[in-house]
Chain A
Amino acid sequence: MSLRLELTAEPEARSEPRVDRLNSAVATHYELVWRVLRRLGVGEASVEDAAQQVLIVFSNRLGDVRAGAERAFMVATAARVAADFRKKRARAREDLDPDLLDAVHSPALPADEQLDRHRARALLDVVLNEMPDDLRTVFVLFELENMTMATIAELLHLPPGTVASRLRRARATFELEATKLSQIGNQP
């Protein structure tokens, strides 16, 4: 006998459609939720906890989420959870790559071809951390999640012009900060 059946006292909670929907949503969207959280600034060590929070919120609100809107709900919740994590974090220690210090000090860095992915990923966090939350969310969904602006607008319930504007500003910020980092590495 499964634990679920042992413990569930009310038919509503063991409703098969509900369980199926939860299972399906987690199977389909967990990886997206995880990535969005990670890319919105939740550190590697905390991202699984954060994902669990998203799922708990989703589970609690399952009855209110219309069919087909699961992804939008979970991405929106993930954005909020990520913002919450960042606010609570006194310092961004867990987001920094352990080798970052050495990477920055290496005289050869950051020559593009010599940056290994691990170090580049840590530096990406450094650059993304320079962005305001609203810009970062749009930037991550467009540049890293490969969503179209129309999808983002729909997902976040934002006017298309707002998405375009945020993306434009986010890209400018990103290029500026990335250029600064690359110039550090190229200093003699």
Chain B
Amino acid sequence: MTDPPQLKIASRHGFSRVLLESAQGDHSAPGAAQRALHALSVGVAVTTVAAAAKAGASTGLSTKWAGLLVVKWLGLGMLAGVTTLVSIEYVSARGDAPVSAAPAARRAAGRLATVRTNAAPPAPVVAPEATPEASQLPEAPPAHAASAVLPSSGAAEPAAEPPVAPAADQLSALRQVRAALLAQAPERALKLLDAFERQHRDSSLAEEAAVLRIEALADLGRDDARALAEDFLRQYPHSAYAQRVRSKLHLP
């Protein structure tokens, strides 16, 4: 099997090469591996503790640590939840220099707070969707057959989703909207946005479209621009366009 030269070297299109070379800067945040390992090692330990507790063994755990087994109440039954939950506790209890937990761990901390606040019955508590549960975790690949877990065109693939317009088409459509705004034709921009939203209902560029709509409405002096902007900021509180929207509508 002879390998072809890589596109970032051999492509006749300079733009392709630029795109591929842009991935060379991909790397994890400093300390990410250490954080992952830390959470993992604690998780290994807690799994064992949970098993011991279940068996009624007296392990001499402090009440505090035993309390962590409330995860059983949650019905998580999975290592992910336990790992992250305890990781937060560990950092807190030791009073170590701040160790920034992974995002999953931070969410787990929030979940823990909820459990403590509602210290009631060990009824099943639905965990936030953002943190995958055991049943949601992808199945592990067979140890000797990695290919079995790979996405493929086989039967494991989900039902086909509705066709999505090529990204280039969507970008082109929004570019026209932007051009209309730059040409001080906000009414035309709105019409183009209406068409865009009809054609691309699940567009990954919906946020951009929303920003452009707010700008168009604001340019027209319409009162609903402000309400739409406020809705946008509620829906996308961390949007990269948040400041742009606030500035346009003079919102705090």
Binding site for B on A (CB under 8 A): 3-4, 6-10, 12-14, 18-19, 22-23, 26-27, 30-31, 34-35, 38-39, 45-49, 51-53, 55-61, 64-66, 69, 72-73, 75-77, 79-81, 83-84, 87, 90-93, 95-96, 98-101, 104-105, 110, 112, 115, 117-118, 120-121, 123-124, 126-127, 129-130, 132-134, 137, 142-144, 146, 148-150, 153, 155-158, 160, 163-164, 167, 171, 174-175, 177-184, 187
Report which of A100, A117, A157, A171 forms a contact with B22, defined as CB distance below 8 A: A117
Whether A178 contacts B19 in the complex (CB less than 8 A), given A61-B140, A77-B138, comes out as: yes
B251 interface residue per 8 A CB criterion: no
Tell me which residues across on chain B come within 8 A of A83, comparing CB atoms. Answer: 138, 151
* Chain A nearest Cβ from B50, distance in angstroms: 10
* Chain A nearest Cβ from B55, distance in angstroms: 10
Residue of B nearest to A36 (CB): B26
* Chain A nearest Cβ from B42, distance in angstroms: 6
Q: Report the stretch among B6-14, B118-126, B218-226 that lies at the interface.
A: B6-14
Report which of A7, A49, A143, A156 forms a contact with B48, defined as CB distance below 8 A: A7
Residue of B nearest to A170 (CB): B7
Q: Which of B37, B150, B206 has the most CB of A within 10 A?
A: B150
Whether A9 contacts B52 in the complex (CB less than 8 A), given A34-B28, A101-B208, comes out as: yes
Residues of B in contact, count (CB < 8 Å)? 98
User: A-B pairs with CB below 8 Å: how many?
Assistant: 301
Whether A31 contacts B1 in the complex (CB less than 8 A), given A56-B79, A144-B20, A157-B145, comes out as: no
* Chain A nearest Cβ from B40, distance in angstroms: 5
Binding site for A on B (CB under 8 A): 1, 3-4, 6-8, 11, 13-23, 25-29, 32-33, 35-37, 39-49, 51-52, 57, 59, 61, 65, 79-80, 83-84, 90, 94, 102-104, 131-132, 136-153, 157-158, 166-168, 171-172, 174-175, 178-179, 182, 202-208, 211-212, 236, 240-241
Interface of chain A, main secondary structure: helix
Tell me which residues across on chain B come within 8 A of A178, comparing CB atoms. Answer: 13, 15-16, 19
* Chain A nearest Cβ from B144, distance in angstroms: 7
Whether A184 contacts B175 in the complex (CB less than 8 A), given A156-B147, A175-B16, comes out as: yes
Whether A81 pairs with B145 at a CB distance below 8 angstroms is: no
